[in-house]
Amino acid sequence: MNSISFMLAYAICGSLGLTLIKKCLNATSSYFVAIQSPTLIVGICLYGFSFILWLKILKKNELSYAFPVASAALFIFISVFSSFILNEHLSYTRIAGMGLISIGILIVSRG
């Protein structure tokens, strides 16, 4: 698996994990109830797994390369997952920004 594949897996797991955590917190009235939720547990597991992937990414790549690419991918996936799972508004401006970020990721990943 190459660096870009690891970064995509990191971004998907991390953003999906955060989105599920947010969904659980939105749906419950107390932290005690949230702690017992399978949604929260899955979200924490995905987020934890993304951290393990991040460690592997850092070991094999320069930070000045890995951080911008991974951060941009996280932004894109969080926006998409938030739109579908949390019903957050995804404006045309944000979509255009994600397109520009995608172009930037391609440029940085080739350099």
Cβ atoms 3, 66 nearer than 8 A: yes
Between 8 and 34, the higher pLDDT residue? 8
Residue 50, token pair as written in the block = 């993304």
Above 80 in pLDDT, residue 108?
A: no
Report how far residue 6's alpha carbon sits from residue 10's, in angstroms, rounded to the nearest whole number.
6
Q: Give me the pLDDT at residue 87, please.
A: 95
Task: State pLDDT tens for residues 51-95.
Answer: 999 999 999 999 988 888 888 889 899 999 999 999 999 999 989
Given the structure tokens 């990414």, which residue do they identify? 57
DSSP string, 58-99: HHHS-HHHHHHHHHHHHHHHHHHHHHHHS-----HHHHHHHH
Domain ranges of the chain: 3-110
Report how far residue 87's alpha carbon sits from residue 73's, in angstroms, rounded to the nearest whole number.
20
Report how far residue 78's alpha carbon sits from residue 75's, in angstroms, rounded to the nearest whole number.
5
Q: Give me the pLDDT at residue 24, please.
A: 94
pLDDT band at 1 (very low <50, low <70, confident <90, very high): low
Mean pLDDT, the chain, integer:
90
Nearest alpha-carbon partner for 45 in 75, 24, 63: 24
Q: Give me the pLDDT at residue 111, please.
A: 67
pTM, two decimals, is: 0.86
